[in-house]
Amino acid sequence: MDVSTCGTYKLWYSIGDGFFYFLPIVLGYTAAKKFKLNEFIGMSLGIALTYPSIVAMKDAKALGHVFKGSPFEMGFSESFFGIPIIMPSSGYTSTVIPIILAVALAAPLERKLKKIIPDVVKTFFVPLIVLGIMVPFTFLVVGPVSTVICNALTIIFKTLYGLPVVGGLIAGVLIGTLWQVFVMFGVHWGLVPLGMINYGTLGYDYVLSPYFCVSFAQTFVVLAIILKTKDKKLKNISIPAFVSGLFGVTEPCIYGVTLPKKKPFVVSCIAGGIGGGIIGFMGVKSYTMGGLGLFGLPSYINPKTGDVSSLVWVLVATLVASVLGFVMTFLTYSDGEKKRKITKSENEGAKSNPVLTAQTFATHETAPAQETIVAPVTGHRKLLSELKDQAFATEALGKGVAIEPEEGKLVAPCDGEITAFFPTGHALGLKTDNGAEILIHVGMDTVKLNGEGFKPFVKQGQKVTKGQLLLEFDINKIRAAGLEATTPIIVTNSFDYSDVVYTDADNIAMNDDILYLV
């Protein structure tokens, strides 16, 4: 009985394969957040790449081919207004580069259209026009170009391995150094087919072998950070990332620890390159696509002869890469300049001296303040950690500061657009012209008032300027209901910045600088 035809197998297999099959949709969403594109537009582009009718086109009888007979060969079975829709034989499911490039190009188009299309029809026409242009452009240009890039990568490494003596060394160093970058952008899929062909024709593969030690280089860089850092939050992230890294799952290490810190990620690439060079130079062979991390070691034992020479050299290269990554990171890593609060005198001086703002209020290697947020209300400053609401106190919604208001007027803390305004008037969202996403929540649990005591002066979708009156609210009515009037000002996309620094001035006047986005 063929297990793969069993319903039980199919259901369980969908868990592992389904996510990667529809990966362009997931990446469409995450890339859209990064490039500041409407997330639903990003997802729609990904859906188009995995739409069943589109997927079926790759298996349809081809009407013609381009680059026929070459490694860049692609076919087409349909056309768009007479223009051939050229696709690789594998289609675009599970791909990475096409959707990222498509989103990157769609983002500036959306911003341009928002400026020229009237607000009254913007919500409908902007997504319609963006998708109407970008979906065809993705299939006619972005997809084929991405395919050519991946195929070119395959040719380059196949040529390198063909060079006598030094070919394996050079290829191993390149794969070991760049593998993590390749994976992040999906370019590694250009090498995977070459390895699969080797398994089928030779019974082993040597092309992909250098990547094995890279995950361990990354993992032991994280171990060094665990031992060096004094940041409890970073340590809490790093420990489970280290454990998962030992078993080949390095995404938590990369995206949670080393990539945000930059230098440790570079160190892991260097260490991986040296280890990869050893593996490539020694012509290490893997005999199957085995597990990841420690589970992948048996793949380097010849199942027919029991030869373990490849396993020995993999262990040597992995040890070298791990030790180098650990030592270089341990010697060079630092948590950086300790974050500090802004003094009252600095706060006052920054208002009249923009150069001072760039130097004084930076917290990471004197990086300049990217944007300044002013106080929307007058009152007394409070830390988020002092609030009873855990969503604010734990910074789950983002970093920021809170103000205990003295008067019931709330103004815009910056130039931007009102992206959300609750019907009850107690909370609103605002996106600045530079992309910061601000949440202002007047009082704690004030949604229970059902809008009583709140008088909005703007609407969702409206453009506002710094200092413009947005809302009036009755402080006495809030407190009479047994609720707190404390107003958090949160940067909900804090992860887009190196830091969000707050003033330590106790008494805040409306339009005083309170947050600096670094």
Q: What domains does the chain contain, in order, with CATH numbers? A: 3-162 (no CATH), 174-332 (no CATH), 344-517 (2.70.70.10)
Give the Cα separation of 389 and 395 in Å (integer): 10
Give the Cα separation of 129 and 44 in Å (integer): 13
| pLDDT for residue 102 is more than 90 | yes
Between vectors from CA 289 to CA 287 and to CA 295, what angle results, nearest 5°? 100
Reply yes or no on whether 380 is catalytic: no
| pLDDT for residue 354 is more than 50 | no
- The 10s digit of each residue's pLDDT in 396-441 is 888 999 999 999 999 999 999 999 898 889 999 999 988 899 999 9
Nearest CA to 401 out of 260, 506, 518 is that of: 506
Of 65, 364, 426, 441, which is the active-site residue?
A: 441
Q: Which of 13-27, 193-207, 227-241 has the lowest mean pLDDT?
A: 193-207
pLDDT-derived band at 4, boundaries 50, 70, 90: low
pLDDT-derived band at 364, boundaries 50, 70, 90: very low
- Mean pLDDT for 353-378 is 56
Higher-confidence position of 120 and 320 = 320
Q: Which of 56-65, 242-251, 382-391, 425-434 has the lowest mean pLDDT?
A: 56-65
Supply 70's token pair.
């070459």
Cα–Cα distances in angstroms (integers) from residue 48 to residues 59, 91, 130, 285, 363, in the given order:
17, 12, 13, 39, 43
Per-residue pLDDT at 180: 86
Per-residue pLDDT at 465: 93
- The 10s digit of each residue's pLDDT in 332-344 is 998 864 444 444 4
| pLDDT for residue 377 is more than 90 | yes
Per-residue pLDDT at 193: 62
Are the C-beta atoms of residues 87 and 141 closer than 8 Å to each other? no
Give the Cα separation of 100 and 142 in Å (integer): 10
| Summary mean pLDDT of the chain | 85
Cα–Cα distances in angstroms (integers) from residue 106 to residues 126, 129, 469, in the given order:
11, 10, 34
- Mean pLDDT for 90-99 is 83
Cα–Cα distances in angstroms (integers) from residue 290 to residues 209, 286, 478, 505, in the given order:
11, 9, 62, 58
Supply 452's token pair.
């009583």
Are the C-beta atoms of residues 506 and 445 closer than 8 Å to each other? no
Tell me the percentage of the chain whose pLDDT exceeds 90. Answer: 46
pLDDT-derived band at 276, boundaries 50, 70, 90: very high
The sign of the CA dihedral 2, 7, 12, 15 is positive
